[in-house]
A and B are shown apart, each in its own frame.
Chain A
Amino acid sequence: MPPKISRPWLVALAIVAIALPLIPYRFEVSAYVVQMFMQAVTYAIAVLGLVVVLGYTGQINLAQAAFFGLGAYGVALGTVTGGWSFWLSLAAGAAVATGAGLALGLTTIRLGGHYLAMITISFQQILDLVLVNWIEVTRGPDGVAGIPRPSLAGFELADDRAYLVFCAAVLYVVVFAVWWLPHTRLGRAMRSVRENELAAEVVGVHTLRTKVVAFSLSALLGAIGGGLYAGGFAYISPDNFNFARSVEFLTAVLLGGAQSPFGGVIGTLLIVQMPEWLKHLPESLRFIKDVYLAVYGIGVILIMVFLPEGIWGLIKAARARLARPADTTDTSGVAPLDFDVPGAAGGPVLRVKALSKHFGGLKAVDGIDIEVARGSVHALIGPNGSGKTTSLNVVSGIYRPTAGQVMLGEEDVSLLRPHQRAGRGMGRTFQNIRLFSTLSALENVMVGAQRDRNPIGRGNRALRARAMSALAFVGLADRAHVIVRNLPYGHQRLVEIARVLAGHPRLLLLDEPAAGLNQTEKMEFVDLLRRLRGHGLTIFLIDHDMGLVEKVSDRITVLNFGRKIAEGSPQEVLRNPDVIAAYLGTAGKVN
């Protein structure tokens, strides 16, 4: 559900939005000013693409001007060279740009961070070179002139004022869509990738697809902005679409606030208008005119240093202070969590066969066999560095096995990616909690509920209901709307478990779930594990607290140096002399 906007805000926003582009009809405004707004509006559409890819998905993109250029050249060459209609040309440019965005997004399969920045810069430079040098097609540095404007449903948009109204309408549609996006399945997936890509993948988000879609959307919006820009100014040349312009777009989005479409629009307005204001200073301040670029640069730096979330972040914080939302959530009508997994039959839930994982010469896991019986709690223990977490990483798909097999039920999942395993009912938590820290507890758990093939109804309502039930199960339903990083540590551990439960797991993998809990919290945790087992859930867990392991486990496997050294019931294993020597020591006493 998108955030609620209070009625007075909405009305004020609507009035300003509708009135602004109509001003030139009512008052005398120079053509120069109208064109400047046309520039701001078309730029803003491109900048909103960056809100999606950078603000929501956390992927750096320094090639937005290239996509902007593809849209602009699509319109220019389509209409002028090809003699196509404006709309067909725009669609063609947008299609090419989206394809390029898709290709760029695919590079994120291997690269992230500064490597991705390099890739996008390279793409930007390549396009720049093509536009300048492929003269037969692009007309080179001279650019393309005489680009016509379209007509829409019988209205000619040739007049500057009419064209501005049209561009503003497109911008508003885009603002609305980008504003709505974070609260959809796709938007939540994007934000989970931004917050913690590994956790997102393991929870069931197809992270690569999410990033590719984000890049494609960004490119599409860039191209639409560019296409409208070309129509607006009738003339374009390669230097409108170079790297400096990409940096300008990036500055705009960071300045305004990358996490909100309103931030993107505010940032763009400032970037386009600020140099103009500085030019029109009164006589006494004219000296600034000579250094206005420096003043402008300093202004941008100051805003970025002191407002890391941009100008919109400042406005948001002010609004939050005025109207503090309730900390607790109404929990009436939350259904009890249902654990039934369709099609679950007998036989072991997890079978690990001769599994090995080697890192160079280090045999972290060296040929282990484990069977986890349906409905049981199976513990994996062993000294630090004995290969426990590595085993869990191979089972959940973070690492590919060097040799051996992982079977989930009757299916060999050894070569599946983590989100595919999550889509088949494998869920896990992490040693050092991995939540999506700026999302609410509810949103975190909803991401878990939206895994592929989760047997719940379609739509946000079903996801939300499922997530609330999972939170209620761990006793946190009333904290559903708290941003998780503000929750105490023990509660964060529970949210992480609720996130897995929301996805109807057939197998729950827990990596040191009780680490950092005190004895009393551990007792509560033991109760939670017993309740889960009572509902028929199969649990495979790692922990170092032997009191806890002994209380909850049906079976224990002990690893040392990547190999299994013992297996059996808690009584057998914890008395095994090898296990005592390698792992337990004289439990409970200081030597």
Chain B
Amino acid sequence: MALLELREVASAYGNVQALRGVSLRVEAGELVTLLGANGAGKSTTLKTISGLIAPVRGEVLFEGQPIHRLGPEAVARMGISHVPEGRRIFPGLTVRENILLGGSNRKGVTRRQLEAEADEKFQIFPEIRPFEHALGWTLSGGQQQMLAVARGLMARPKLLLLDEPSLGLAPLIVQNLFGAIRDIRARGTTILLVEQNANMALSVADRGYVLETGTLILEGSPRELLDNEEVRAAYLGGHHA
């Protein structure tokens, strides 16, 4: 049984069809990446999984249970954590409070343990440590992005959905981030990753899917996708990095 399975999922915004029958599987412990152009439906796929959008058709199964009729909080309680695109941090809370809040879905964890985990997050993103007690809105755009990812990691989810975590981050930080993604996965968290930086994403992934205008057109190992002419032309700038 796959940890996550999508069966012929279709989603729409109003009368604009965003997903047209997407079927995919993520096995427990895997790191799967979802590639595709802007507007292909990558973020919509993640939103449909996390319950922010109800699918028009099809099923989403998590550990064999249908979850596509559940709201986002119920989905989060089942162990799915979604780090959305666009730095949705709490501007009026401190950086540390933002991170701690990421663990608010976990039962029976002591405050001390959460604080210790928050400290680990500052090791992944040392750039935001100096602002630990500053309010969220005072961070620069890239720092807010780091904070959003750090907060998502606090949920200790079974399945982590990451939507463009590297957006607007300096190269050095992107390397730290992908190092961290690899570590998280090594500790047993399953990850579904959406990234524009396809080279980076494929360098850490076990498998990848390619989404085009709401339909999956390709599935394969990173090697297969990197060698695929179409993928290289459409997403990797036509040359092999």
A residues contacting B by CB (< 8 A) are 359, 362, 381-386, 389-390, 431-432, 486, 488-490, 512, 515-523, 544, 546, 582-591
Contact = CB atoms under 8 A, between A and B. Distances in A.
* Majority SS at the chain B contact face: helix
Nearest to A585: B172
B140 A490 contact: no
Interface residues of B, number: 43
B167 A583 contact: no
A523 B213 CA distance: 21
A591 B176 contact: yes
Given A520-B235, A590-B175, A489 B241 contact: no
A522 B164 contact: no
Contact of B241 (A383, A486, A588): A588
B127 A489 contact: no
B198 A518 contact: yes
Contact of B141 (A381, A431, A520): A431
B172 A590 contact: no
Contacts of B21: none
B66 interface: no
Interface string B157-178: 0000000100111111111101
A519 B38 contact: no
A520 B233 contact: yes
B175 to A, nearest CB: 5
B141 A384 contact: yes
B38 A544 contact: no
Interface core residue of B146, B170, B200, B234 (most chain A CB under 10 Å)? B170
Interface in B107-131: 127
- The listed residue with most B CB atoms (<10 A of its CB), out of A384, A521, A587, is A384
B44 to A, nearest CB: 12
B142 A384 contact: yes
A587 B237 contact: no
A271 B140 CA distance: 48
Given A384-B146, A520-B235, A432 B141 contact: yes
A383 B169 CA distance: 8
Contacts of A544: 142, 168-171, 174
B221 interface: no
B42 to A, nearest CB: 10
A417 B32 CA distance: 48
B237 to A, nearest CB: 4
Nearest to B145: A384
B218 interface: no
B84 to A, nearest CB: 13
Contact of B175 (A489, A520, A523, A591): A591
A406 B164 CA distance: 35
A95 B138 CA distance: 45
Given A519-B198, A544-B169, A589-B175, A384 B140 contact: yes
Contact of A384 (B170, B182, B235, B238): B170
A515 B175 contact: no
Contacts of B92: none
Contacts of B138: 359, 362
A390 B139 CA distance: 11
